[in-house]
Amino acid sequence: MMIRRAFLGAAAGLVLPGMQLAGLPLQDLRRRYHAELFESVLPFWEKHGIDHEYGGVMHSLDYDGTVVRTNKLSWFQGRAIWVYSFLYNHFDRNPKYLEIARKANDFLLRHAPQADGWWAEEFARDGKVVKPFSGDLYGMYFAAEGLQEYAWAAKDDRAREMAFQLMKKLARRIEEPDFLCMDADAVGQRTQGLWMVNLNTARQMVARWPEREMQALLDRSIENVVKRHYNPEIGLNNEVLNRDFSRPADHATKCLLGHSVETLWMIAEEALRRGDKALWATCTERIRKHLDVGWDHVYGGFSEWVNVGQGGYVWPEVTPVGTTMVFRGVGEYFYMKPLWALHEILVATLNIVEQTGAEWAVRYFDMAQKVMDERYSMRGRGMAGAMLFADRKMTYVPHTARQDNYHPPRQLMLALLTLDRMMKK
């Protein structure tokens, strides 16, 4: 478990009796989140998505849990390992959680590794490879994150060593001149999202197993995000940079807003672990700027991208992973609105409220929770699922072919841990 240090003034005095978030006293919000996690989200996945026969998880589900496709993407297997291992490590040493994580771990290790050292990207339900490795490293990063969490839960040395091996292999690959990064336009370019998945897993690993090479990867990833992807001209993080960290002409004014908030809260958490006040303050200041720029104050919700000052920009078509939805846009903002970004806003702002009680963080927390409840959640329609991607007005779509087994439970679990600390104060 990560060690957090409260160092930003008299934080305990800022969590006042009667303080409310999302219109609820802290203890009531905790009860709400606990019920959502243990009475809705987890039962939904255990009934519909978890493959109790072959192991792993099927993500292609409609709002009511109907299985649309049984194929399994590597992204969601590693994420499942992490979620159920984290549950076991931090909430309830229920052998059911560890068994789900173990079967997902076994499924991935049995079917994903290829003879050339890379891991397949998609599988049939029984594990037969449907899509071998084609360059998507993110599935391997999510596998590493899941493996390290499972290693801690199960005291599994093989899983721990596999996580270290994967992270080091991937770290070497992204430094090679011919590397073509997902979401980049040209060979050699690298994205903020790439440093995000490196630092997120590395920070969890070094907190448990201090190791020089992994610490160096963590430090390098943080430095790249804070000093290089940050563009002082626009006050936002650029998502894509060239290999030498110069700004490609077509990306110099672009920001992938949700990724920036997500990456910055992870660095802020690491700053808490280190007791680094300056780094924490930098991250929180930049989180606020991204929220101010990205929040749609007309309809609510959070924009996917902004291309500052480019009012006539024609955005490339986007089809989110695991869906058949197509989004198009023209203008400074790309108003595809992902649900996962709202989860990241809730994590980021709750962390800031815990440390400082900042009014702006409370305000954005409340707005994110409200629009999530009113526009994305299907609970009001009698279903446990959620709309994951939406247009600017967050128009209801009657069916979907993907649910998220990672961001919702992660946000709820992290919120419960944070609320517990806040109520102790």
Task: Give the distance, in angstroms, between the CA of residue 126 and the centroid of all CA atoms in the same chain.
Answer: 27
119-126 LR contacts (CB < 8 Å, sep 24+) = 119/74, 119/143, 120/74, 121/73, 121/74, 122/71, 122/72, 122/73, 122/74, 123/56, 123/71, 123/72, 123/74, 124/70, 124/71, 124/72, 125/51, 125/54, 125/58, 125/70, 125/71, 125/72, 126/54
Per-residue pLDDT at 10: 40
Residue 128 has φ and ψ, to the nearest 5°, of: -60, 135
CB 300 within 8 A of CB 367: yes
CB 238 within 8 A of CB 247: yes
Per-residue pLDDT at 6: 54
CA dist., res. 213 & res. 217, Å (int): 6
End-to-end CA distance of the chain: 20
Report pLDDT digits (tens) over 228-268: 999 999 999 999 999 999 999 999 999 999 999 999 999 99
Quote the pTM value.
0.96
Amino acid at 36: E
Report pLDDT digits (tens) over 152-204: 999 999 999 999 999 999 999 999 999 999 888 899 999 999 999 999 999 99
Q: Which residue has the tokens 């954005």?
A: 364
Query: Which of these, 121, 32, 11, lies nearest to 77 by C-alpha position?
Result: 121
- Alpha helices by DSSP H, listed for 190-338, are 192-208, 212-223, 257-274, 277-294
- The burial of 144, by beta-carbon neighbours within 10 Å (0-12 exposed, 13-18 middle, 19 or more buried), is given as buried
Report pLDDT digits (tens) over 364-378: 999 999 999 999 999
